[in-house]
Structure 1
């Protein structure tokens, strides 16, 4: 008798879903002169061919007509929204093509559906329909027609023929083993391998730069907590909170960290102490006036570092100021409390966060990274400008139009339906970690010096994918369909 195997063999069907690598989408300018100057010669030939053949275009609301030239009527939209436009191409009395365009942002239309029959393809009616959209929306609020993107070579080649402005895009997040990890802080795995350099007298340089005595502390939360404890506030003291941006989410973060001991209230002048936060690198305009009053002020300078010599710089207004080196350099640990030097005994007995090993490591790493500030600032500016260039293609603007110092983040003013929380959730699936304030609908995007142009394109491309109405489409697997 033959012994049966204990294993049951069955066919496992794994469907390939790509579109998880960065590629280029195609925008077509809706300014005829700009578009014509940038179009490829092959696209111009198609437009001229249709014009010479006598193709005419009319606007319609009848979806049954475009269904006659759409490759699969079952996938066509069933209703036409008021803001959508349907154009039909005719050769004499014969319907030969159609196109539907849909607004996707304040300045961008999307080539949502487009089809032609054999007669239309013979005279390149689709090229003429695209050009008709350019002429129709010239001098409108729309700047671009998003012709589209495809991960199929022949279709991508077709889209690129009409590209006058490329942009980066990807639809799906890479798999776990190939997904990057990009956060606001520049630390990465590679930063664990560093070589000690006795290059600068770092304590002297820091005291000169911050124009104050200071105390090394392990991290930003403990530096801020130490500043509060240094004020000898009573338990359940009320702390007034002013933040330049994202005040609601910042106040909530303070509650989460220190709410068991202190009570935080936004813009409360009758408080026992005040925290002024220059959040995301933007100066809090009330810092100087609040510091002139009798209530002690702590400046949270976690997100600011650079200033010009001689300026009344951020961090010089309050009784204490807190700075976070991990926001600026590829360091795991390191913050300072500026305004006073506290001996180890105080850090141990009063602040309860003495860590001499970390302090020594932080000082050694600062000798490497502190002299690199100017070079790193240049990279941050380049990243910020690339973000601005890309988001401008969608009509989206930074919340801080003209940063006065090297940017900590690119702070984007989100717009419905792409709200800050929707963007944050989308980007996290791609390994991109951000901060948001939903009350102000702003999102802080990574901008640090460990990022280059390719990283910024990946971040934008991950968001840009969701703007494409077709980004959720997945072709049916014929193997599964037949199983």
Structure 2
């Protein structure tokens, strides 16, 4: 059985990303390993990437290199087209210029966000605008797309490692014009050593990570569909989902209260603001019992609200 309404001092801890408390010791004891550099050399090309402390740092460096003026506009596009965009993105843009969800006469760059692991379809068509493109691939490190794959059309591409791997820090900026940027000037050497050790440990498990996430996604898709709540994004071959998101359009529920309810049971989650949709973890470190726990929390929430 699962404990519903547990003592708040005895909560489990489920995050959107795969990092777990047990990874502290494991990561600390990993041997020095630079094999991740060879992987990135083969994937992106030599001297085309720099490590950053996080994804926000990679966004900042990319924007810095575009020489934007305060009145310029960065137009943000997303997979869903929903107005929602993380403050982690907009706050970085606001350090340089303005942003918009539409093209304007002052648009000087495009920021393309592949949301939640689900790629923007045919991103190569954006090249027709003749503007520099920053691709936000924070959640699409391994995802394949319809048309050009994520990370292959941007002038700059950013990644956030905690979205995919069990660590707490680390990002990457990929691009052709990174002259003068050296990873040791962006990330201190001790932290860089840690990031490389963890990535090197897990990079050979790519296929397992993707397969496990897809299995978890399909399991949750089945369970929530049984309850009348279908998936928000269709999972296609080659996509590594960052979350499981379901729609609640036909069954109106109080999503902000659902968020509080999940957090009161130790589960990180959120509302997909602007839509009747909600997302929960789906990462590769979750087993079937964890997923069943998520389902039982949801069923308990529905029952408690129906009885009010």
TM-score, normalised via structure 2 length: 0.87
Query: Partners of 2:184 and 2:123 in 1: how far apart?
Result: 27
Among 4, 7, 24, the alignment partner of 1:192 is 24
1:304 paired with 2:134, answer: no
1:338 aligns with 2:146: no
For 2:307 and 2:9, the matched residues in 1 are separated by: 22
Distance 1:299 1:187, change over 3 A: same
Counterparts of 1:336-375 in structure 2, within 5 Å, are 336-340=172-176, 341-344=178-181, 348=185, 353-375=186-208
Which of these residues, 329, 333, 343, is aligned with residue 165 of structure 2?
329
Report 1 or 2 for greater relative contact order, CA contacts < 8 Å, sequence distance ≥ 6. Answer: 2
Which residue in 1 is equivalent to 2:41? 207
Partner Cα distance (1:458, 1:420) in 2: 18
Q: Distance in 1 between matches of 2:215 and 2:268?
A: 20
SS of the aligned residue for 1:275 comes to: strand
Say whether the 8 Å CA contact 2:75–2:111 is kept in structure 1. Answer: yes
Deviation at 1:414, TM superposition (A): 2.4
1:437 aligns with 2:272: yes
Counterpart Cα distance in 1 of 2:21 and 2:208:
21
Structure 2, unaligned runs of 5 or more: none
**Contact 2:117–2:143 (CA under 8 A) maintained in structure 1:** no
> CA-atom RMSD, angstroms?
2.6
Q: SS state of the match for residue 83, structure 2?
A: helix
Whether the 8 Å contact between 1:185 and 1:327 is mirrored in structure 2 is yes
- 1:41-440 counterparts in 2 under 5 A? 172-194=4-26, 195-197=29-31, 201-210=35-44, 213-245=48-80, 247-250=82-85, 252-270=87-105, 271-285=107-121, 287-307=123-143, 312-340=148-176, 341-344=178-181, 348=185, 353-404=186-237, 405-415=239-249, 416-440=251-275
Question: How far apart in 1 are the matches of 2:160 and 2:183?
Answer: 20
Partner of 1:460: 295
In structure 2, C-alpha distance between the alignment counterparts of 1:457 and 1:211, rounded to whole Å? 42
TM-score by length of 1: 0.57
The offset of 1:366, in angstroms, is: 1.0
Q: Which has the higher strand share?
A: 1
| CA distance, structure 1, for counterparts of residue 272 and residue 143 of structure 2 | 26
Q: How many residues align?
A: 300
Q: Which protein shows a greater Rg?
A: 1
